[in-house]
Each structure stands twice: as C-alpha cells, then as structure tokens.
Amino acid sequence: MDLTAHGIAVDIPAGWDGEIYQRGSGIGPLSDSPGETEPVVHLANFPLVSNRGDFGSGAVEVMVADNLLIVLFEYGSESVGTALFAASGIPTVAAEDFAPHTMQRPIPGQSGAQFFFTETGRAFCLYVVLGSHARRRQLIPEVNLVLRNLNVSPI
C-alpha cells in the first residue's frame, strides 16, 4: 500500500497499517504537540488504534511480541543544521540500537530506538518500537525493509 502526503511517501507491506498526518491540523490521531503543523508518519504491522499520540502512545500498549511501530516525526526548519540533526539520510537500524530504557514509557518486553537526522533539508526523529526486545534480531529486517521504501521530498 502506498501512503503519500506532505512530501513523504512510503510503500508499506501487505498487512501493515499507516497514516501520515499534520500535527495541529485537526486531522488524524491525537496530537502531543498542538499548534505545530509538521508531518508525523505512523507505520505498524498491526492495526493502529485511532486514539494515539504522536510518538505512538495508545498503540504501544496493544503491541504483542511480533509487532513493530515506526514513527517519523518532523521538526521545524529551525532544527535543520543543528547538532542534534547532523546525521544525514534515513537511518538503517541495527539490533544494537534498541534498548528497553529508550521507550518513552517502558513496557515490559518491548524496546525502542530513536534517531535524529536530516533528509532533503528536513529535520526528523525516527522512533521505532519493537514488541519484543528478545526477538529484535528477527524483527529488524522488516523495519529496514520499510525504511528503504520511505522517500522524503524537499519542501
């Protein structure tokens, strides 16, 4: 399935769910950042709950061991060129990147990883949650497959 909006396009595998929305637009799930209008992308290999926050609160609570949640959160243009967003390009993730304490709110068994980067002059945070930290080596290839199908256009 192809998702395209706000200069972001991704082809997600069959059986995945996804949404691209703008925070503060009144469209899409709950926004953790009212008043801001940068895009947020949610991709999951399970049905996304409609009542979820920008970084997946509400969705992570229903995840099981084989579930994956990918969040791409765009920051404003003032973030481009800052040290936090110095990395260039959409990252490839590795099992060593994940840890249970990286979760916004730790959930037993799960782990997460967070990456800050710039792509085509736009600043992003990639936040990935794995339903099972113990199975991270088996789950990572599916995450990277989706990330290889993610394209960001310049604004």
Q: What is the pLDDT of residues 117-128, one digit of tens each?
A: 999 999 999 999
Residue 49 domain-assigned (yes or no): yes
Burial 101-140 (b: 16+ CB within 10 A, else e): ebbeeeeeebbbbbbbbbbeebbbbbbbbbbbbeebeebb
112 is in which domain, residue-wise? 2-143
0.85 cut: is pTM over it? yes
Q: Which residue ranges in the chain fall short of pLDDT 70? A: 24-36
Q: With left for phi above 0 and alpha for psi between -120 and 50, is residue 61 left, alpha or beta?
A: alpha
Per-residue confidence (pLDDT) for residue 155, from 0 to 100: 81
Structural domain count of the chain: 1
Residue 151 domain-assigned (yes or no): no
What does the DSSP 8-state code read for residue 110? Answer: -
Residue 112 domain-assigned (yes or no): yes
Residue 78 domain-assigned (yes or no): yes
Rounded Cα–Cα distance for residues 77 and 138 (Å): 36
Residue 148 domain-assigned (yes or no): no
Per-residue confidence (pLDDT) for residue 1, from 0 to 100: 78
Per-residue confidence (pLDDT) for residue 102, from 0 to 100: 87
Residue 46 domain-assigned (yes or no): yes
